[in-house]
Amino acid sequence: DGGITQSPKYLFRKEGQNVTLSCEQNLNHDAMYWYRQDPGQGLRLIYYSQIVNDFQKGDIAEGYSVSREKKESFPLTVTSAQKNPTAFYLCASSGTGPLYGYTFGSGTRLTVV
Amino acid sequence: GNSVTQMEGPVTLSEEAFLTINCTYTATGYPSLFWYVQYPGEGLQLLLKATKADDKGSNKGFEATYRKETTSFHLEKGSVQVSDSAVYFCALWANQAGTALIFGKGTTLSVSS
């Protein structure tokens, strides 16, 4: 079945360590997105990519980095520069644009201790 | 800039009650509007959408009408079920290539039997 896979579901890291969250899709979608979800804050856009080897910053890109070397993959690295990294991270993709809706992964809950 | 404002939750209802979740937006031009639903521990799923003024989106008994004059897209359901308990997000897309969805903060619905 086609879909988006985020792994791992739960991730624990020590403060000061970089961590990479995986996002893979087999929907042949061109665009991929990373959102951060915090209680009472809704979803905030971190980075997005419309095509391979290209990506744009969202509203809260500071402390994060991404790459898009393959159409299927859009990993997110949470760096030690991110002041408050503990959150629920959601990856999404869309085919011909947001008009036709996003397909979301099931998310990764990152806890930094 | 573009933004979405949702009524704050939680919304607590008894089974078979009528549901309204308010959503208003601010946007330049004529955006497309969406409702997404998130069940516990999962990613978001597209519930319904409307792409122009006076359009009505509907799915699974839920409806929302795109009201340009009041910049609103309120979600309604005539008779809620316990299985409708979830977080509901209103979102807009500015219909501009290369941009992403903008989400509201979400409204938690809890339905009891």
Please state, rounded to an integer, the average pLDDT across all residues of chain B: 94
For residues B34, B24, B101, B28, the Cα torsion angle rounded to the nearest 10 degrees is 120
Q: Which of B97, B98, B100 sits opposite A33 (nearest CB)?
A: B100
Q: Do B105 and A98 touch (CB under 8 A)?
A: no
Q: Which of A4, A45, A101 sits opposite B100 (nearest CB)?
A: A45
**Residues of A with Cβ-Cβ distance to B49 under 8 angstroms:** 99, 101
Give pLDDT, residue B102: 93
Give pLDDT, residue A1: 64
Q: Burial letters for A1-18: b for 16+ Cβ neighbours within 10 Å, e otherwise? A: eeebebeeeebebeeeee
Contacts of B11 (CB under 8 A, 6+ apart): B19, B21, B107, B108, B109, B110
Lowest mean per-residue pLDDT among A61-65, A81-85, B18-22, B76-80: A81-85
Q: Do B93 and A99 touch (CB under 8 A)?
A: yes
Tell whether the torsion through CA atoms of B56, A90, A105 and A42 is positive or negative: negative
pLDDT in single tens digits along all 113 residues of chain A: 679 999 999 999 999 899 999 999 999 999 999 999 998 888 999 999 999 999 999 999 999 999 999 999 999 999 988 889 999 999 999 987 777 789 999 999 999 98
The pairs formed by A38-46 with CB atoms below 8 angstroms and a separation of 24 or more are A38/A87, A38/A88, A40/B105, A41/B105, A42/B89, A42/B103, A42/B104, A42/B105, A42/B106, A43/A90, A43/B44, A43/B89, A43/B103, A43/B106, A45/B100, A45/B102, A46/A76, A46/A89
Q: Which of B49, B100, B104 sits opposite A48 (nearest CB)?
A: B100
- Single-letter code of the amino acid located at A82: Q
Give pLDDT, residue A34: 97
Give pLDDT, residue B65: 98
Query: Which residues of B touch chain A, with CB atoms under 8 Å apart?
Result: 32, 34, 36, 41-46, 49, 51, 89, 93, 95, 97-106
